[in-house]
Amino acid sequence: MISEIIKNRRAVFPAQYNNQPISKEEVLAILESANWAPTHKRTEPWRFKVFHGLSQIGLGKFLAETYKNTSEKFSENTYNKFIENPVKAKCVIVICFQRDPKESLPEWEEIASTAMAVQNMWLAASEMKIGGYWSSPGIIKYMDKFVQMEEGERCLGFFYLGKYDGELPEGTRKTSIEEKTVWM
Ligand SMILES: Cc1cc2nc3c(=O)[nH]c(=O)nc-3n(C[C@H](O)[C@H](O)[C@H](O)COP(=O)(O)O)c2cc1C
């Protein structure tokens, strides 16, 4: 049932990943789900850069050095996490979106569509027993120094992927849907 898959999806973090590899076919299946997100005017704004294999090491080094060079309050622990997490993951998908200059949709609509694409990936991964989470550190604004971005393209974060052992904890929500809904 889709409602069960939705409720059972969890943010699964690098500390929880085991060392099992994720195949290219599995990554492709997850990406394919992204491509079926809805979009206003069919702009399909999501763009992805996939770090799968040795390239993950370079990504970690870039993130750590960028953090070191730009942070106002440096922490050795955070620096080490930026190096380690992209390698603990068995794939890191850089989440980007590109505005369509012809359609001139508001930016929020393109970001909303891209977030829906990420949710599709997250649900697909969850059903495949692959853990994932969306990481959005402040340094994503420097990603154009590391990967080529097209005109109007911007990074929204990283989707870390890794397999895990055992069961995931049950999710929690602070308030019920009734408390967030007004029936008119
Ligand atoms: C847009 C977005 C950005 C996020 N960025 C971070 C992040 O930078 N660090 C983090 O620990 N979790 C991040 N998360 C994951 C949330 O912490 C997680 O989804 C939330 O705690 C709810 O848990 P659940 O996904 O297991 O239901 C992000 C989630 C979203 C949707």
Block means of pLDDT (10 residues each) for the chain, 184 residues, are 95 97 98 98 97 98 98 96 98 96 89 98 98 98 97 97 96 97 98
21 — phi, psi (to 5°)? -70, 160
- Asked if residue 74 is part of any domain, the answer here is yes
Q: Judge if the beta carbon of residue 138 lies within 6 A of ligand 1.
A: no
Helix segments in 35-75, DSSP class H: 55-70
CB neighbours of 139 closer than 8 A, spacing ≥ 6?
63, 66, 67, 70
Q: Cα–Cα distances in Å, from 116 out to 46, 112, 119?
A: 10, 6, 5
Residue type, 91: C
- Asked if residue 8 is part of any domain, the answer here is no
Pocket test for ligand 1, best of 81, 134, 139 (most atoms within 8 A of CB): 134
- Asked if residue 73 is part of any domain, the answer here is yes
The domain that contains 96 carries what CATH number? 3.40.109.10
Q: Judge if the beta carbon of residue 10 lies within 6 A of ligand 1.
A: yes
What is the total count of domains within the chain? 1
* DSSP tag of 179: G
Q: Judge if the beta carbon of residue 111 lies within 6 A of ligand 1.
A: no
Would the pTM count as exceeding 0.95? yes
